[in-house]
Structure 1
Amino acid sequence: MKKSFPLLASALLILTCNGAQAASGFRDMDFGSSPDVIKQHAHCTMTGPVKVEIGEMYQCADFPFESGVTHAEFFFAGNQFIRLGIRVPVDNTAETINSLAKKYGLVSAPGEDQITAVRTTPGQSVMFTFGDGNIALYFASDSQGSTSTVLLFSSPDAKALQDAHADDL
């Protein structure tokens, strides 16, 4: 079932780019921390690690976010925390965009026609970026047309750490 997102268009109209602000992590989970430190601060049941293209990934199905729990993935390269992916409830997409824009500043956003394409055409995706570009929100539809929203916080050093530890994989 496709959902309408009139708030998404409204959110884009009222957002202005504030001064760019970098994210040094998420809550009390700092980029560069070890998996053991992140496990202590994630406040969820972490499983893993699993080897992935960028290093190692741990997962939580019960990560506290907004007013509930959701799925989150924690990525590490060279035993250092480099990225956090959080599944955002689709109904909260516009609210999440507003919150991120207020805190970090909206850097780039897709046009309304691109957002509509995600809602109406399977296999489409758009990306919003915030702050220094290391915070991104992906809104996508799968091959059956179901939509999802994923929020990514990435370390400014993520690419360099991935490259430095590529031989470890």
Structure 2
Amino acid sequence: MRFKNTLPLWLLLGMAAFSASACATDGYRDMKFGASTAIVLAQANCTMEEPEEAPVGKMYSCEDFTFASNKTEATLFFVNDKFIRIAIAIPDDDVAKTLETLKQKYGVAAHSSQKEMQDVDLYPNKTAFINFDNNHISLLRTSNEDAQSSATLIYSAENIPEIQSHAAP
């Protein structure tokens, strides 16, 4: 994905006020953190590929996940048969609206510097982030080796270390 007009989006960040939410999100849509793999995969409502083994747990991916009325890629992460994280590729046209919605709902908890954000559009292999909801939600911007940028929305469970510590060796 390539951002078409990112300057106004990242200028908004310079004006973002720091705030923190009192409680962490408990999942994404109907997919609740800590729920079993079978339940979450049924709720994801997309065509999952075979799972990939991760260092701890499993990852399931699909290319037809619905986000903002569009089909996009998503990856769901599970540890010890419990849902802990979802990463959603954000279509270019939805980035500004997604950012504004997250700012209004959760407030900005932390973010990369203005220079780091601009560097994603200018240089290859750069990363910038904006975190929300006590850092449990992240909007991550990256550029690849060809300096093409993309955005990923990541929702993470609050208690991942606790869930990982109960995972089978």
Normalised by the length of structure 2, the TM-score is: 0.90
Report the count of equivalent residues.
Answer: 167
1:6 aligns with 2:7: yes
Q: Deviations over 1:46-100 (max 9, x none)?
A: 2222101231011111000012010000100000000000000133222211111
Q: Deviations over 1:118-142 (max 9, x none)?
A: 1000000011100121111110001
Amino acid at match of 1:82: I
Residue number among 30, 36, 54 corresponding to 2:56 in the alignment: 54
Matches within 5 A, 1:123-134: 123-134=125-136
How far 1:12 moved relative to its partner?
1.6
- Structure-1 residue corresponding to 2:141: 139
State, as a whole percentage, how many aligned pairs show the same letter.
31
Residue number among 98, 101, 112 corresponding to 1:96 in the alignment: 98
Q: Runs of at least 4 residues of structure 1 off by over 6 A?
A: none
Amino acid at match of 1:12: L
Normalised by the length of structure 1, the TM-score is: 0.90
- Structure-2 residue corresponding to 1:65: 67
Amino acid at match of 2:97: E
Q: Aligned equivalents of 1:161 and 1:2: distance in 2?
A: 36
Q: Does the Cα contact within 8 Å between 2:85 and 2:157 map onto a contact in 1?
A: yes
- Structure-2 residue corresponding to 1:15: 16
Query: What secondary structure, in the 3-state scheme, does the structure 1 residue paired with 2:66 have?
Result: strand
RMSD between aligned residues: 1.8
Change (3 A) 1:112 1:91: farther
- Structure-1 residue corresponding to 2:159: 157
Q: Deviations over 1:101-153 (max 9, x none)?
A: 11111111222221111100000001110012111111000111111111110
